[in-house]
Structure 1
Amino acid sequence: MKMDFTTLISSPPTLPLFFTMFLTIYLLAHFIFFRNWSPKLRPEAASCSISLAHGTPAAILAALAIISDPTHQFASPNTQFQNSVLEYSIAYFLMDLSHYLTFYPKDILFISHHLATLYVFVTCRYLVSHGAYVVLVLLILAEITSLFQNIWTLAGARKGESEVAHQVFDLMSPPFYALYSVVRGFAAPLFVYKMIGFYSSGVADNVVPKWLWVSWVFVVVMAISVSVLWVSNNWIELYRERMFRVEKEKKFR
């Protein structure tokens, strides 16, 4: 008997199982994989580890979940596979939220981001059970840069202690910033524009109430705005660092 791929992926996993998986990865990273790192850096490294386990796999699974439903629309009912991908991300954000509340309770920006993201995923999965197509596309746009960002973050954390890490950080920064800028500055806003156009027509009000899709748009627009501000600041910092190096080299010529 031939087993359907989407059934294989979507049937066994549950939210507690996914959460346990991310918790296990986090603990292994903190106490084993990065045990030689300084206690100050280990929590961030553990957070990056679960982000690596979530980001790219989530983007791939989200794409497969969308493709597996050929009738997908902005207000289509969620399929079982799509719900499982939503739960995969819910589990990750719950685990990473626990990390921030434990080690960085004053980091209001990231805590707020995780709570807002969880709100969108949870309401889509458990409240209306419609609109997963929209949320999964946004998930793909958010996580397509995840692999590069986590490697960049880990290299940045170690660049003061390792020349290799410093080189990796410097080498990755421009292309990572460029990809991030295109995705968050152009692709994501374009999709949100189409999302607003569809929902504002009122054709989906019976399955995705107006107050809900408006709140989704608010959360996404705020997340995009913060992302654009973040990458803009990084571009400015990169420019300053490169100009400082150029001036320094001129002095020693």
Structure 2
Amino acid sequence: MDFETLKFLSSPLPLFFTGYLILYLIAYFIIFRSWARRLRPEASSCAISLAHGTPAVFLAFRAILFDSAPDFHSQNTPFQSLVLDYSIAYFFMDLVHYLIFYPTDVLFIGHHLATLFVFLTCRYVVYHGACAILVLLILAEVTSLCQNVWTLASARRSDVKFAAKLYDFLSPPFYALYSVVRGFLGPYFVYRMLVFYSSGAADSVIPKWVWISWVFVVFTAISVSILWISNLWIQMYREKMKKVEKKVS
């Protein structure tokens, strides 16, 4: 067994994955046991996403803040590596969830595989660039709390009045926040990454094929996110128009 394999096995990644697995099972069999069977997998996925998203934002922010020389190509600090492991474990667990319950959802499966590629190469291949990747993690997960509550409310809005009211209340601010983060802040930061890496400043520690892959994956993910939120805005507009038409008639 080589050194890199030993280093991977000695990381906290298996422990984090086990934690997410236990939480998923608790959510599926206990917390959401009264929900319809078709809704329980999605709700359990939201449970582990809640456990990952907001904590990951604060952890990533702290990992960047306490880096003595943060840069797009700086060496990963031990705490930054820990945060990466925390997120890698989550995406592995959620990927297992999709492969078991939604094996035909190629969009989310592809998203998780691409995200894992970025995190794993940063953490276990080049050992540099975590600052850039963690900023992307912050931008991706800053809407996580609102999105997961919105998703849970959406799942029950047809049979629970409070869920329907919560869904209607959260939709506009969630859509607005998501649009700003994914439509403006995300693209701007990816542009900054592209300018820096294309200058060759990181070539000695991050191979071109790695950073090109990172930029491509993130750009694609942001594009899909913009398409997704655009469709939600259109759907909300149509629902509002239907309600107006009913009142008029």
In which range does the TM-score fall when normalised by the shorter chain? over 0.9
Instruction: Give the counterpart of 2:244 among 243, 246, 249.
Output: 246
User: What is residue 31 of structure 1 aligned with on the other side?
Assistant: 29
CA distance in 2, matches of 1:234, 1:195: 29
* DSSP-derived class of the 2:28 partner: helix
CA distance in 2, matches of 1:171, 1:70: 42
CA distance in 2, matches of 1:231, 1:56: 20
TM-score (norm: length of structure 1): 0.94
Aligned pair count reads: 240
User: What is residue 59 of structure 1 aligned with on the other side?
Assistant: 57
Instruction: Give the counterpart of 1:143 among 132, 141, 144.
Output: 141
User: What is residue 82 of structure 2 aligned with on the other side?
Assistant: 84
Aligned pair in 2 of structure 1 residues 212, 13: CA closer, same or farther (>3 Å)? closer
Q: CA deviation at 1:203?
A: 1.2
Aligned pair in 2 of structure 1 residues 229, 187: CA closer, same or farther (>3 Å)? same
CA distance in 2, matches of 1:160, 1:203: 54
CA distance in 1, matches of 2:58, 2:35: 31
CA distance in 2, matches of 1:122, 1:103: 24
CA distance in 2, matches of 1:193, 1:105: 33
Structure 1 residue ranges without an equivalent (≥5): 1-11
User: What is residue 49 of structure 1 aligned with on the other side?
Assistant: 47
CA distance in 2, matches of 1:210, 1:139: 21
User: What is residue 72 of structure 1 aligned with on the other side?
Assistant: 70
User: What is residue 6 of structure 2 aligned with on the other side?
Assistant: none
Q: Percent identity?
A: 65
> Which amino acid in 2 is paired with 1:188?
G
CA distance in 1, matches of 2:246, 2:206: 58
CA distance in 2, matches of 1:18, 1:198: 33
CA distance in 2, matches of 1:38, 1:192: 41
Measured against aligned partners, the alpha-carbon deviations of 1:106-134 in whole angstroms (never above 9, x if no partner) come to 00000000000000000000000000000
User: What is residue 205 of structure 2 aligned with on the other side?
Assistant: 207
Structure 2 residue ranges without an equivalent (≥5): 1-9
Q: How does 1:1-253 map to 2 (within 5 A)?
A: 14-251=12-249
CA distance in 2, matches of 1:196, 1:188: 12
Q: CA deviation at 1:13?
A: 7.1
Aligned-CA RMSD value: 0.9
Q: CA deviation at 1:35?
A: 0.4
User: What is residue 5 of structure 2 aligned with on the other side?
Assistant: none
Q: CA deviation at 1:77?
A: 0.2
Please list every run of at least 4 consecutive aligned residues from structure 1 whose deviation after the TM superposition is greater than 3 angstroms.
Answer: none
Q: CA deviation at 1:70?
A: 2.6
> Which amino acid in 1 is paired with 2:190?
V
TM-score (norm: length of structure 2): 0.95
> Which amino acid in 2 is paired with 1:218?
F
